[in-house]
Structure formats: C-alpha cells, structure tokens
Chain A
C-alpha cells in the first residue's frame, strides 16, 4: 500500500529557535499526483519542501521520499528529485544553454548536448537559448528553472511558488507543461497562492502554522468546509459589499465582476444580513468556491479542522 506513495512522511517537526515552523506534519502523496500546497506566508510550505529533498534536517519525525529515508538517503533522493526554488537560483551571468548544460553535467547525464537541446525544444526556449539568464523576463526565467529541474528526468518535482510574479498567460502555459509531465507519470508537489492553480491540482493540502489543516480534492475541500455562500447581481454591488462586510456572521463579502459573493458559517446570520439590505439585488445560494474557503481558513488560523 505504501509502495505507490511517493512522499510518505509522518509527524515532521522543524523549529528555528523557539519558533515552530513545521509542527507535526504528516503528508502522503501518491505517484502521478499533482498535489497543491497551500497556506499563508510563513505557514511552513517552503521548509517542508526543503525537508523533503534533504536541504533542511527535521528536528523530529521522518519518513520516505521515493522510498528513500529523507534523513539518511538525502543525497540519493536529490538524484531523483527536481527542486525549483522560490527565488530564481540559476546563474544570471550564464546563458540559458550554459545554465542547462551545467545542470546536465552536474547530474552526469549521458548525451548531454542532446538532452539540453531536447529540453530547450520542449520548453519552447529555443529563441532565448543564447540569452543571458539575467536578461530574461520573469516568465522565461521560471521556464528555464523548470527546464533545469526536469532535465535529469526526476520522478518527483518539488515546486516552491513557481509562478509568483508571472503573468497570466505564462502561468497558464506553465501549468499546461506540469500537467503534460504528470501525464507521463511524474509526481508533482507545488506550493502556490493562486486559487486558479489550486483548482488545477488533483489534491490540495492546506497548511497553517506548520500543521496540516485540510486536504482533499478541490471539490472535497470546498464542500467539506461547511461554508455557505450567496451570490447577488444588481446595481451598486460595491456599496452593498462594504455594508455587508460589517454585519455579524459575514466572513467575507467581495465583488467578482458583476457578482457579489458573501460567505459565512452561519446560514441564519447570512440571511439576516441579506434581508437587512435595501434590496434591489437578486440573491441565490451557490456552492462555495475554493477562494472563499481559503479566505475563511486564512482568517481563522487557530481553528483546527476535522
């Protein structure tokens, strides 16, 4: 049963001084899965990813990654894992090709030149191959970083906020590439703050203060939250949102295009809030969106979920 678990870690702890960054995290990721890693800034996502590839030693707990012990076998795990750091960490004074060639050589790939050429073609980097990495825009840098991570054909990709600060089109293309690679059997653990990206994951894991708060498919997480959401259309939505936000029981009220969303845990309170408005808005209940759920989770980090 554990055979098809690519990541299988239990009760991981990591603290810096007295601050507990990761506090009893248990995580299991199946082969071929795209697992989204969500949580507020400082919730322990980066530290967890670093522990998985042996860059940070856990203070407690342990487990396996690709069937190898994350403490004892860290060097062997690194050979089979592609890790893309949050900050661009390739050499800005080297060209795209030179960076990739360096990575290929460090992994001692046979047919280095062919491997580099193949990845350049696959990632659509051919036009930029001779450009210095420091001169690339954010989207291209991130593509180069992804290319470098998958060059040695890893079995597991660990991506730490790979699309931060990248435009929508580049993000879309990046995720197409990730799905493309997952189709080939690659397992992906990716941390993100974007809800549209979370929705594209097979499973999402939400961290808060170094603890796992909720996990499941995006649908399960949305439904399991117990959150009730109403949507309204009509005039002056911004004014209505401002009024509703102050009402008891309304956890969030936000305008999306031509619709106003309000969410809360208490149905009666929400309905009272709606009725107290002057009207003119057409209300109906909608299934909770991931975004609503995460804003709900972010606003009450101490509340443990089942």
Chain B
C-alpha cells in the first residue's frame, strides 16, 4: 500500500488524459493562445518605434530649414506636418496627436550664415520615455546636415576624435525586437498554459466533489499529482514546437544551439511551472483562490524576468526577486540557445536554480496535500 505504485499512477494518468481530450475548449485555447501572442508580439510590439507624429513651427520656409526637415525625415523617426500656431502645437502635445514639435526660430538661415549657432527647439512628449528615446538620440548626427549648403569655413568641423567606439551588434545584428521577444514568449506562454491549467486541476476535484472519492481510494498524493502533470508536459512541448516553428518560418528566428538541449531545459522549466501549479492547487480552497495565486505570480514573471524590460536595468533588489522565478532563468537559457548558440556549460548556471525551485515547491505540495477532509 505504501510507496509509489506505477499501476495506480497509470490509472490516474489514463483518467486525466481522457478528461483533457474531452475538453475541446481548453485544447483550442492551448493552441490559439501561443499563436495569437506570437503574432501580436511579433508584429505589434516594437522597441524601436519609428514614424512618430511631429509638428513643425516655422515662419520663414527658407532653404536651410528645408534641408534640416529633409534630414529629420530621412532618419525614419519623424513624420512631419506643418502647424499654424503655438496653440495648435500645445494642443497636439497635450492630446497625444503629436510626440514632437520642431520650433525653427525666425531668421534661421541668416543666423546660421553669421555663425550664431542658433538652436532648434524640439518639444517632446516624455510621458513615455522609451517612445521618444531613439528618435531623440538620432538628432545628434543631424547637425552636419547643412554642410553641403555652407561654405567650407562654416561647416561643422568634424572633430578628429583621438579614438572611436565601434558597436558590433552580435547575435541579432539587425536588432530586431521580434528575435528578442520570441524566446521570451516561449517561456511566458508555457508559464500561462501550464501554470494555470494545473492550478485548477486539484481544486476542480474538490469543487466537483470527486476529491472525497479520490481520498477514499488507495491512491497516494504523489501519484495523483504526477498523473495530473504529465499530460500538460506533452501539451507544453506541443506549444513549444508550434511557437518555434512559426517563429522560424515567419519571423526568421535562428536556431543556433542544440535543439536537444533546448528540449531538455524547457522540460525542466515546464516541470517547475507544473509543480508550482499543483502547489497552488493543493493550498487553495477553491478555484477562485487558485486563480488569484497564479495571477499573483504572473505579473512578476512578465515584469521582473527580463521579458518586458531589460533585466540588468533593474535595481539590485528587483534583480534578486527576479532570480527567484524560473521564468527568468528559462528566458536566458532559451535566448542563449536560440540566438547565441550556447551549450550546456553556458546554461548550467541557469539550470540549477530552476531545479532547486521545482524540488522545493514539490515538497510543499506533497506536504500540504490533504489526505483527509478535515
């Protein structure tokens, strides 16, 4: 009676598998969710936004002015339309119609010719700093825009720098956001589907009244929990294959590392999520509580893991908190294997925290699984 019985485990597994198959809605969600997220994130989210609406306030419509405006347009960041008044500019910035307003001072051409170094004022809506950051940074290179129109003496003398920096954008030379997003997306989608589904699994037995029966039968907690988890490992892998296949075919995601290693590492990550889900499921008294617990962990998974924002940009305490979540480590592993071609030695420092997390959480689940109805 005591100890693990493979036959009992298989019995519960068979039951779970039938139940998963008979729930077409959940199955459809499991397929639709990652596909939808992949296309949303792949096409809709852009960390380097271009064609930002820009208003122009100018009185002269002079030659230099036209050159400067052409240079602004050529950066790709600015879509420029002329404005009639300062009031219109203020209104545009206030209601979000405009992100930038370019103010070219009167007599701009003459001031330039006299060497007065006039300033062009750029009003920017900085409520979302990341939206305007790259566009503002591109301005620095534009001060030489007038060089062709000016006599050699008046040109912006290119400072002969004693040395220079050369940026070599490795792993993602075109700096495509989607290549950063897809590996993260694999981890996030796995978190959502595996964590939520298993979170509900044991509370569902309690709420439908089948738990009393299950407890009255000779199954051990560990057999029930394992059997509830295994179908979702299969489903989790199906999702990974789907996401990676679409990402490779549609978004040109490179697969530089070992697929076998990726499969292994993701297996561990899936296990950690399932263990957490089962733990929530045993601790929670009903499905509502279980869902709230899952949502509570989902937010830091998004925000602190490095999925949405750069991990190294967070303060130290937030990084410490982020390190606790398996998704943080999984994200590094998946990015490392897919984009950098990392091997086992490089990902090992991120593997063991997931393993420790899984083990600790499983212990809590086994300990809190109620074998009586008290």
Query: Which A residues contact B (CB, under 8 angstroms)?
Result: 50, 53-57, 75-76, 78-79, 81, 83, 85, 87-94, 98, 101-103, 105-108
Contact = CB atoms under 8 A, between A and B. Distances in A.
Nearest to A85: B212
B372 A105 contact: no
11 contacts: A55-B373, A85-B213, A87-B212, A88-B209, A89-B213, A92-B208, A101-B14, A102-B11, A102-B15, A105-B10, A105-B11
B12 interface: yes
Interface of B: 1-2, 5, 7-8, 10-12, 14-15, 18-19, 22-23, 208-213, 215-219, 372-374
B216 A83 contact: yes
Given A55-B215, A85-B213, A87-B212, 12 more contacts: A50-B373, A55-B373, A56-B372, A83-B213, A85-B216, A87-B209, A89-B209, A91-B15, A93-B22, A98-B15, A101-B14, A106-B217
Contacts of B15: 91, 94, 98, 102
A224 B373 CA distance: 37
B7 A105 contact: yes
Contacts of A57: 372, 374
B216 A78 contact: yes
Given A54-B372, A56-B373, A91-B19, A103 B8 contact: no
Contacts of B218: 75, 78-79, 106-108
A75 B8 contact: no
Given A57-B372, A83-B216, A106-B8, A91 B14 contact: no
Contacts, number: 77
Given A50-B373, A94-B18, A108-B8, A103 B217 contact: yes
Contacts of A105: 7-8, 10-11, 14
A111 B340 CA distance: 55
B67 to A, nearest CB: 72
Contact of A90 (B12, B210, B215): B210
Contacts of B210: 89-91
A12 to B, nearest CB: 14
Contacts of A108: 5, 7-8, 218
Contacts of A93: 18-19, 22-23
A18 to B, nearest CB: 16
A268 to B, nearest CB: 50
A88 B210 CA distance: 8
A92 B217 CA distance: 18
A73 to B, nearest CB: 10
Contacts of A54: 372
B1 to A, nearest CB: 5
Contacts of B219: 106
B201 to A, nearest CB: 13
* Chain A CB within 10 Å, residue with most, of B8, B12, B212: B212
B296 to A, nearest CB: 29
* Chain B CB within 10 Å, residue with most, of A90, A102, A105: A105
A22 B372 CA distance: 17
Contacts of A103: 217
B1 A76 contact: yes
B212 A106 contact: no
A256 B11 CA distance: 51
Nearest to B20: A93
Given A55-B373, A56-B372, A75-B218, A90 B213 contact: yes
A144 to B, nearest CB: 12
A132 B11 CA distance: 18
The 5 closest A-B pairs by CB, nearest first: A105-B11, A89-B213, A87-B209, A83-B216, A89-B209
B374 to A, nearest CB: 6
Contacts of A107: 217-218
A75 B211 CA distance: 16
Contacts of A85: 209, 212-213, 216
A106 B13 CA distance: 11
B217 A78 contact: yes
Nearest to A92: B208
A93 B14 CA distance: 13
Nearest to A76: B1
A65 to B, nearest CB: 13
A91 B15 CA distance: 9
Nearest to B213: A89
A58 to B, nearest CB: 10
A57 B372 CA distance: 7
Nearest to A75: B1
